[in-house]
Chains A and B, each alone.
Chain A
Amino acid sequence: MKLFSKIVLAAILANLATLVSGDEITLYSHRHYDSDRDLYAAFTKKSGIKVNVVKASADELIERLKAEGENSKADILMTVDAGRLQRAKAAGLLQSIESKVLKDRIPASYRDPENQWFGLSVRARVIVYAADRVKPSELSTYENLASPSWRGRLLARSSSNIYNQSIMASIIAQHGVNDARDWAAAVRGNMARPPQGNDRDQIRAVAAGLGDAALVNTYYVGLLINSSNAKDREIGNSVSLFFPNQKDRGTPVNVSGAGIAKASKNPEGAIKFLEFLASKEAQSTFPQATYEYPVSTDVPWSNLQKTWGEFKPDTLNLGMLGELNEAAATVFNESGWE
Chain B
Amino acid sequence: MLAKLKRNFKQELDPWSGSTLFLALIILAPLLTVAIGLGDTGPKWEHLKSTVLFGYVSNTIILSLSVVILATLFAVPSAWLVTAYEFPGRGLFSWALALPLAIPTYVAAFVYYQFPEAAIPLLVYIRSAWGIDAFQTAETLLRYGLLATFMAAVLYPYIYLSARASFSQQRRQVIEAAQTLGRSPRSVFLSIALPLSRPALAAGIGLVVMEVINDYGAVHFFGVPTLTEGIFRTWFGLADRSSALRLAGFIMVVVFAILLLEKTTRGRARFAEPSNSALPIRRRRLKGLPALASSMTCLIPLTLGFLFPAAQLLIWTSQTFSRVFRADFIHHLLNSLLLAFATALVLTALSLLIAYTVKLRPGKWLRGIVGISALGYSIPGAVVAVGVMVSLGNVDRLNASWLKTEDGPKLLLSGTLTAIGFAYIVRFLAVSLQPLQSGLRRVCGSLDEASRTLGVGPAKTLCKINIPLLKGTLIAAFTLVFVDILKELPLTMILRPANFETMATTAFSLAKEGRIRECAVPSFIILITGAIGLGLINRFLKIESP
Chain A residues in the interface with B (C-beta under 8 A): 7-8, 11, 14, 18, 26-27, 32-34, 52-57, 59-60, 63-64, 67-73, 87, 151-152, 158-160, 165, 192-198, 200-201, 204-205, 208-210, 220, 223-224, 227-229, 232, 325-326, 328-330, 332-334, 338
Contacts and interface: CB of A to CB of B under 8 A. Distances in A.
26 contacts: A7-B405, A11-B405, A32-B509, A53-B498, A53-B499, A54-B496, A55-B493, A57-B493, A60-B494, A63-B389, A67-B393, A71-B414, A158-B223, A160-B220, A193-B223, A194-B139, A198-B514, A208-B124, A220-B514, A223-B514, A326-B239, A330-B44, A333-B233, A333-B238, A334-B47, A338-B223
List the 3 closest pairs (A to B, CB-CB), nearest first: A196-B223, A329-B237, A52-B498
A71 B117 contact: no
A26 B498 contact: yes
A210 B497 contact: no
A71 B400 contact: yes
Given A63-B389, A68-B393, A334-B51, A160 B233 contact: yes
B298 interface: no
B235 A209 contact: no
Nearest to B497: A54
B218 to A, nearest CB: 11
B136 A193 contact: yes
B223 A197 contact: yes
B221 interface: yes
B498 A54 contact: yes
B452 interface: no
Contact of B123 (A26, A52, A210, A229): A210
A200 B44 contact: no
Interface of B is mostly: helix
A334 B414 CA distance: 38
Contact of A208 (B120, B222, B233): B120
Contact of A152 (B135, B221, B232, B496): B135
B386 interface: yes
Chain B CB count within 10 A is highest, among A60, A67, A195, A223, for: A67
B493 A68 contact: no
Contacts of B223: 158, 193-197, 338
Nearest to A227: B514
Contacts, number: 164
B488 to A, nearest CB: 14
B546 interface: no
Contacts of B132: 151-152
Interface residues of B, number: 66
Given A11-B406, A196-B222, A160 B232 contact: yes
B385 to A, nearest CB: 8
Contacts of B500: 54
Chain B CB count within 10 A is highest, among A27, A209, A228, A333, for: A333
Given A71-B414, A152-B132, A196-B143, A55 B405 contact: no
B388 to A, nearest CB: 9
B386 A67 contact: yes
B308 interface: no
Chain A CB count within 10 A is highest, among B232, B239, B323, for: B239
B389 A68 contact: yes
Nearest to A332: B237
A334 B415 CA distance: 38
A220 B243 CA distance: 34
Given A32-B513, A55-B505, A330-B47, A67 B127 contact: no
B116 to A, nearest CB: 8
Contact of B397 (A8, A18, A71, A209): A71
B52 interface: yes
B55 interface: yes
Contacts of B48: 333
B175 interface: no
Contacts of B385: 60
